[in-house]
Copies of this chain bind each other. A is one copy, B any other.
Amino acid sequence: MTTISVALGARSYDVRIEPGLLARAGEVLAPLSRGRPMPIVTDTNLAAHCETLVASLAAAGVSAPVLTLPAGESTKSWAQLEALTDWLLAQGVVRSDHVIALGGGVIGDLVGFATSILKRGCNFVQIPTTLLAQVDSSVGGKTAINSKAGKNLIGAFHQPAVVLIDPQVLDTLPQRELRAGYAEVAKYGLIDDAGFFAWCEGNAAALFAGDPQARAHAIGHSVAAKARIVAADERETTGTRALLNLGHTFGHALEAETGFSDKLLHGEAVAAGMALAFAFSAEQGLCPAEDAARVAAHLRAVGLPDGLAAAGVTADGATLVGHMLHDKKMEGSTLPFLLARAIGRTYLDKTVDLEKVAAFLDGQTA
């Protein structure tokens, strides 16, 4: 068992990583339950994992009513948020209770947000079942739903009480989902850890082939990196946490252009966005061209999109920059960008000229 602590004072918590942990979740969670039920919220794809979890809790003497929501991004809605909070209230959840989010980023974001506003805040537990949720969204307390105007525009910072990661649940994850999550793994190397990116280049094949040690190392290293960054800047006010957004501003434009649909998964958009951030940095003379080429090559090698064409996007630069202006990270009329000086050396630039970004993007599709 690897345990990584997210150090946030009174809001500190552990991330526990161990193969087979789902089936032992009951013994880990029983002390938190203090004799109260622990409601589980999950989605329609996860019936088997949910059965394992319920049995484990029952064996530890914890009752666990289950709410199963539709799988997919459309569940991060106002309607589902209201329905979920109504269900939790009907279960009699009180502020000191713990609600379990069993699922990927959609379930984690929705349950995290619902529990942050239920009676002005109750507790929740993350049990992430996708690689993306395990290495990124389940740690750090960002929770949200989508609004008509865009993704994740309504939400809260709400830290879980504990995160339980069982790498074995990835065995049943579709390869495309695994690849999408891997984009966030590679990201931790690109932002500030060139050594880890080199590890990724050497071990991605083993990870995708299901090698348990490669998976455990990738997850543990990613969670430790995220924990360190979140502890330094919980609410993204100093610029440190913003590093985690590498590729996300370009990626956001691609997701908006493809309608936030299954045409382009979030992780796929982030991969293409990271390649674009490095290519733009290289074009601006900020970063060696060979670093940008190395980033693109690795993403291609694992089957991730390495730019606009591979992401299936043909829109012009002005259209894509138009999407960026709806990014919630806009500060007045300024949009901060994550740019690169090299692999493992990214930084936040608040002075990027959006016309140059549009011209760069036009050059990519030309």
Q: Which residues of A contact B (CB under 8 A)?
A: 36, 78, 82, 85-86, 89-90, 94-96, 113, 116-121, 142, 144, 147-150, 153-157, 235, 328, 330-332
Q: With A78-B78, A119-B153, A156-B120 as given contacts, are A147 and B85 in contact (CB-CB < 8 Å)?
A: yes
Contact of A154 among B85, B148, B149, B235 (CB under 8 A): B85
- In the complex, besides A94-B332, A117-B156, 9 extra interface pairs with C-beta distance below 8 angstroms are A36-B332, A82-B147, A85-B153, A86-B147, A86-B148, A89-B150, A95-B331, A96-B332, A120-B156
* Minimal Cβ-Cβ distance residue in B for A34: B332
Q: With A78-B78, A85-B147 as given contacts, are A330 and B94 in contact (CB-CB < 8 Å)?
A: yes
Kindly state the separation between the CA atoms of A157 and B119 in the bound complex, as whole angstroms. Answer: 10
Query: Is A94 within 8 A of B331, CB to CB?
Result: yes
Query: Is A156 within 8 A of B153, CB to CB?
Result: no
Kindly state the separation between the CA atoms of A116 and B158 in the bound complex, as whole angstroms. Answer: 12
Kindly state the separation between the CA atoms of A96 and B82 in the bound complex, as whole angstroms. Answer: 27
Query: Is A149 within 8 A of B86, CB to CB?
Result: yes
Query: Is B149 within 8 A of A89, CB to CB?
Result: yes
| A–B pairs, 25, beta carbons within 8 Å | A82-B147, A85-B147, A85-B153, A85-B154, A86-B149, A89-B148, A89-B149, A89-B150, A89-B153, A90-B149, A94-B328, A94-B330, A94-B331, A96-B332, A113-B117, A117-B117, A117-B155, A118-B153, A119-B154, A119-B328, A120-B144, A120-B155, A120-B235, A121-B157, A121-B235
Kindly state the separation between the CA atoms of A328 and B156 in the bound complex, as whole angstroms. Answer: 20
Chain B residues with CB below 8 A from A96, complex form: 331-332
Kindly state the separation between the CA atoms of A156 and B120 in the bound complex, as whole angstroms. Answer: 4
Q: With A116-B156, A332-B36 as given contacts, are A89 and B147 in contact (CB-CB < 8 Å)?
A: yes
Query: Is B78 within 8 A of A154, CB to CB?
Result: no
**Whole-angstrom distance from the CB of A31 to the nearest CB of chain B?**
16
**Whole-angstrom distance from the CB of A269 to the nearest CB of chain B?**
20
Chain B residues with CB below 8 A from A155, complex form: 117, 119-120
**Whole-angstrom distance from the CB of A164 to the nearest CB of chain B?**
24
Kindly state the separation between the CA atoms of A95 and B235 in the bound complex, as whole angstroms. Answer: 12
Query: Is B78 within 8 A of A82, CB to CB?
Result: yes
Chain B residues with CB below 8 A from A153, complex form: 85, 89, 118-119
Kindly state the separation between the CA atoms of A94 and B336 in the bound complex, as whole angstroms. Answer: 13
Kindly state the separation between the CA atoms of A94 and B116 in the bound complex, as whole angstroms. Answer: 21
Kindly state the separation between the CA atoms of A118 and B154 in the bound complex, as whole angstroms. Answer: 5
Chain B residues with CB below 8 A from A157, complex form: 120-121
**Whole-angstrom distance from the CB of A143 to the nearest CB of chain B?**
8
Chain B residues with CB below 8 A from A120, complex form: 142, 144, 155-157, 235, 328
Query: Is A156 within 8 A of B121, CB to CB?
Result: yes
Chain B residues with CB below 8 A from A82, complex form: 78, 147
* Minimal Cβ-Cβ distance residue in B for A36: B332
**Whole-angstrom distance from the CB of A95 to the nearest CB of chain B?**
7
Chain B residues with CB below 8 A from A235, complex form: 120-121
* Minimal Cβ-Cβ distance residue in B for A334: B94
Kindly state the separation between the CA atoms of A95 and B334 in the bound complex, as whole angstroms. Answer: 12
Kindly state the separation between the CA atoms of A355 and B36 in the bound complex, as whole angstroms. Answer: 23
* Minimal Cβ-Cβ distance residue in B for A148: B86
Kindly state the separation between the CA atoms of A119 and B94 in the bound complex, as whole angstroms. Answer: 26
